């Protein structure tokens, strides 16, 4: 297994366009997390899934953001009507269980630039 993968690694879009990112977690991991990280800051929690169920969403996740994990495997994060403030690194992480001591394994991230 090669770890958590994310696609694309970089995305440049114009303001107002929709974008979709994909995350493929480690195969046996049932927890999947999305974070957003701006330059020089720590990641901020957006949402997480336990298998296919989306259990929690941050207030940072506005109505323009939607995440899915339809079969409990890969996940997608869609941003509609992008704004310049959406420019950030979007990180995906997965873990085997839901304990706070479980290790989260992060993907390389998708760098979004909104022009």
Partner 1 sequence: TQLLEQSPQFLSIQEGENLTVYCNSSSVFSSLQWYRQEPGEGPVLLVTVVTGGEVKKLKRLTFQFGDARKDSSLHITAAQPGDTGLYLCAGGRLYTGNQFYFGTGTSLTVIP
**Interface residue list for partner 1 (CB under 8 A):** 4, 31, 33, 35, 40-45, 48, 55-56, 91, 93, 98-101, 103-109, 111
Smallest distance from partner 1 to CB 55, Å: 6
CB atoms within 10 A of CB 71: 9
C-alpha span between 66 and 55 (Å, rounded): 13
Q: Is 69 or 109 the residue whose CB approaches partner 1 more closely?
A: 109
Smallest distance from partner 1 to CB 100, Å: 3
Prior bond to 8 cis, omega within 30? yes
Q: Is 14 or 28 the residue whose CB approaches partner 1 more closely?
A: 28
The encoded tokens of residue 34 equal 């999305």
Smallest distance from partner 1 to CB 81, Å: 26
Q: What are the φ/ψ torsions at residue 84 (nearest 5 degrees)?
A: -60, -30
Smallest distance from partner 1 to CB 86, Å: 19
């Amino acid at each position: 297994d090669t770890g958590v993968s994310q696609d694309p690694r970089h995305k440049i879009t114009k303001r107002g366009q929709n974008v979709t990112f994909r995350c493929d977690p480690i195969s046996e991991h049932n927890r999947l997390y999305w974070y957003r990280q701006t330059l020089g800051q720590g990641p901020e929690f957006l949402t997480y899934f336990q298998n296919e169920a989306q259990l929690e969403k941050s207030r940072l996740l506005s109505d323009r953001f939607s995440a899915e994990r339809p079969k409990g495997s890969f996940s997608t994060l869609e941003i509609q009507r992008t704004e310049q403030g959406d420019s950030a690194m979007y990180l995906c992480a997965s873990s085997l269980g839901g304990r706070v001591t479980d290790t989260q394994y992060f993907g390389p991230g998708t760098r979004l630039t909104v022009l």
